[in-house]
Structure 1
Amino acid sequence: MKNKSAILFVCLGNICRSPMAEAVMRQMIAHEGLTDSLSVDSAGTGDWHIGRPPHEGTQGELNKHGVSFAGMKARQVTESDFDSFQYIVAMDTKNLADVKKLRKDREIGGLLERGAHVRLFTFMELLPHHGIMDVPDPYYEGNFPYVYELVEEGCRELLRMIKADLKSV
């Protein structure tokens, strides 16, 4: 692998789904010995949880699986993320629409050229066999174990895809 790539997971408040995906992917990257080639972060489309750690349900599920979330704090997605990340993965279709709107605003401002290399898609596009479009939000549904299963499977698939992309560069 030649180039360093970066992944950004995006959900609504950046306390449940996207930090869970960030933590799981960090562990997978470390396990594969790819920390010099690949980095990961997460953000939310909303601003009401900025600076807070992951939701206690997310923390509990990550602890159950031995996945560290040390130092993780919620932040809001920004236009500059289009310059920093090659993969922006929205946890649901509403998050994707919000990120696309942010990108559209950026295009209107004439800044598209710098962020044109970003691959933007929903997490469940990695797992089409599940037949759902969105990772359910456990903040409302409380289904943290199910979300963890989806996140773990999807992160494995995303890592496979990125490794293939990096080899072709």
Structure 2
Amino acid sequence: MINVLFVCLGNICRSPMAEAIFRQKVKQAGLQNKIVTDSAGTGNWHIGKRPHEGTLAILAKYHVEDEQLVARQVVEQDLSTYDYIIAMDASNMKHLNELNTLGVNVHLHKLLDFVETSQVKDVPDPYFTGNFDEVYDLINEGCSALLAFIKDKEGI
């Protein structure tokens, strides 16, 4: 199994949105028996909570399943459990690199690094901007590119 973890700040907006969208793309590609996905936040404010209502609304708008989404905090063990850890922004990447005290060799990337044509490098946090539509579009494009990358890299 290939394990993919999406990480944002609080795990109620961007990373659960990415988890749900990516899971749907994996299922549509018939790869649900090869790729597992999850999400976490760098902060602990929302542990155990469902995603933000804006995230739930945009997922419903595009008919993306959201039932399994519950916030948790990223922990150092995740760095050795997951094959790909995908951050939403540079701040998340910084936190993940600081968390990696054991120097675990894991694929750490920002989601939009997979979208070569993207002018935006960080997925903005809709908790602060309120723009869930823009974030959905960026994450959807990033997840498509990430899945293509993983399929190519892993030969699946």
After superposition, the C-alpha distances for 1:20-39 in whole angstroms (9 at most, x for unaligned) are: 00000010111111111000
For 2:43 and 2:116, the matched residues in 1 are separated by 27
After superposition, the C-alpha distances for 1:74-105 in whole angstroms (9 at most, x for unaligned) are: 000001101211100100000000010001xx
Shift of 1:72: 1.0
Larger radius of gyration: 1
1:6 match? 3
How many pairs were matched up? 156
The one of 30, 34, 38 equivalent to 2:31 is 34
Are residue 81 (structure 1) and residue 69 (structure 2) matched?
no
2:115 match? 127
1:60 match? 57
Shift of 1:121: 1.1
Q: How does 1:70-149 map to 2 (within 5 A)?
A: 70-103=67-100, 106-107=101-102, 112=103, 115-116=104-105, 118-149=106-137
- Point out the structure with the larger helix share: 1
TM-score, normalization by structure 2: 0.97
Q: Which amino acid aligns with 2:28?
A: H
For 1:50 and 1:128, the matched residues in 2 are separated by 33
1:69 match? 66
For 2:6 and 2:16, the matched residues in 1 are separated by 8
Q: Which amino acid aligns with 2:79?
A: F
For 2:35 and 2:81, the matched residues in 1 are separated by 12
After superposition, the C-alpha distances for 1:99-128 in whole angstroms (9 at most, x for unaligned) are: 10001xx22xxxx4xx32x10011111124
Q: Percent identity?
A: 46
TM-score, normalization by structure 1: 0.89
Unmatched segments (≥5 aa) in structure 2: none
For 1:130 and 1:63, the matched residues in 2 are separated by 25
For 1:133 and 1:167, the matched residues in 2 are separated by 27
RMSD over equivalenced CA pairs, Å:
1.1
Large movers: runs of 4+ above 6 Å: none
Unmatched segments (≥5 aa) in structure 1: none
